[in-house]
């Protein structure tokens, strides 16, 4: 996990990048029929790590951008 400064969209804002890497330790592998399950578990762990890194006051600042919503709906 790494937290770094990022380039904000404007000088009125701050921006940060939280990078969370999740991977198998050396010597471990996943059989092809177990990949979907592993991805679901990995996603849950990454989400939990992210949630542990932020507070409710920051969570309240998150907003869904209209253009992101429109792009996701178009897919």
Mean pLDDT for the stretch of residues 69-75: 62
pLDDT at position 72: 62
Cβ atoms of 39 and 24 within 8 Å: the answer is: no
Into how many domains does the chain fold?
Answer: 1
Give me the helices (H) in the chain, please. 35-53, 56-59, 66-74
User: Which domain range does residue 50 map to?
Assistant: 2-74
pLDDT at position 57: 84
Tokens representing residue 42 in the block: 């990995």
> Which tens digits make up the pLDDT trace of 24-66?
888 889 999 999 999 999 999 999 998 898 888 888 877 666 6
Residue 68 has pLDDT above 60, yes or no: no
């Amino acid at each position: 996990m790494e937290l770094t400064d990022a380039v904000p969209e404007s000088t009125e804002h701050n921006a940060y990048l939280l990078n969370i890497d999740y991977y198998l330790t050396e010597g471990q592998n996943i059989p092809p029929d177990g990949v979907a399950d592993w991805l679901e578990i990995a996603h849950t762990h990454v989400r939990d790590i992210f949630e542990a890194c932020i507070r409710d006051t920051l969570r309240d600042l998150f907003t869904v951008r209209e253009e992101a919503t429109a792009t996701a709906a178009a897919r």
